[in-house]
Amino acid sequence: MKLSKIFFLLFIILNFFSICHAEKNDQLTIKISKNLRCLTCQGQSIYDSQSDFAVSMKILINKKIEQGLSEKEIYELLKDKYGEWIVYDTNFNRNTFILWGLPVLLFFLGGAIILRKLVFRKV
């Protein structure tokens, strides 16, 4: 019963996807444009936005990829023009180490508190 269910599930999944990779450049453009923030409608990514700026930016990204720039180089180029703000994926640097570190620190702190309550309890 259980096994047949699992096989049924497997069957569905395997049959369902016949996915091959489309043009690689297009996918990379999409990936990069999702990680860039639009300066005209500032809540949206370049990918989501339809503003003039975003449309041009997508063309530019495509062009730069064709010129052989890597993803990282494109980010650097744009950061240089528009500041760090334009990239959603902030790097780990002296401005952001708290941003990256604090949640993880809190996680371990929480773990320590729970352990203390459990293991070192006076009974």
Partner 1 sequence: MLANHIGHYSLVIGLLTSILIFLLSLKSYKSQIIDKRIFSISFLQLFFVLISFLSLVICFVISDFSNETVFNNSHTNKPIFYKISGTWGNHEGSLLLWLLVLTLFLFLFLINSKNELKRYRILTVVFQQVIIIGFFLFVLITSNPFNYLFPIPMEGLGLNPILQDPALAIHPPILYVGYVGSSLIFSATLAAVIENYISKNWAKNIKIWILISWIFLTIGIMVGSIWAYYELGWGGFWFWDPVENVSLMPWICLTALLHCILVLEKRELLKSWTIILSIATFTLSMCGTFLVRSGILNSVHTFANDPSRGIFILCFLFFLIIIALIIFFIFNKDKQKDYKKIYFFSKEVSILVNNWFLMYFLSVVLIGTLYPIFLEVLIDHKISVGPPFYNKLIVPFLIFFLIFMSLGPNLKWIKETNIKNKFQLFIFFFISLIISFIIYKKIGKTNLINTVLIAASFYLFIVTIKDFFSKELYNISKKLSHFGFSMLILSILLNGILSTEAIINLKVGEKFTFKNEQIFFKSLENNQKENYQSVVGYFKVEDDKKNISLFKPELRIYDQPVVITSEADIKTTFFRDRFLVMNTIKGNEYFNVRYQVKPFMIWIWISTLLLAIGGFLSLYNRLYEK
Partner 2 sequence: MRNKILIILLVFFLSFCFFVLFKSLESSNIYVPEKKEDRQLAEFVSEDLFTKKKITSNEIFYGSDYYILNIWASWCAPCRKEHPQLMELSKNSSIKLIGLNYKDDPKKAKKFLKNLGNPFSIILVDKSGVLSIEFGGYGIPETFLINKDKKIIRTFIGNLSDDSVRQINSIVK
Distance of CA 70 to the CA centre of its chain: 17
Q: How many residues bind partner 2 (CB under 8 A)?
A: 17
Q: CA 88 to CA 69: how far, in whole Å?
A: 19
User: Which one of residues 8, 11, 34, 76 is an interface residue with partner 1 (CB under 8 A)?
Assistant: 34
Q: Is 114 exposed, middle or buried (0-12, 13-18, 19+ CB in 10 A)?
A: exposed
User: Which one of residues 53, 88, 97, 116 is an interface residue with partner 1 (CB under 8 A)?
Assistant: 88
Residue type, 20: C
User: Which one of residues 16, 67, 68, 120 is an interface residue with partner 1 (CB under 8 A)?
Assistant: 16
63 binds partner 2 (CB under 8 A): yes
Pick what 102 binds: partner 2, partner 1, none; C-beta below 5 to 8 Å, kind-dependent: partner 1
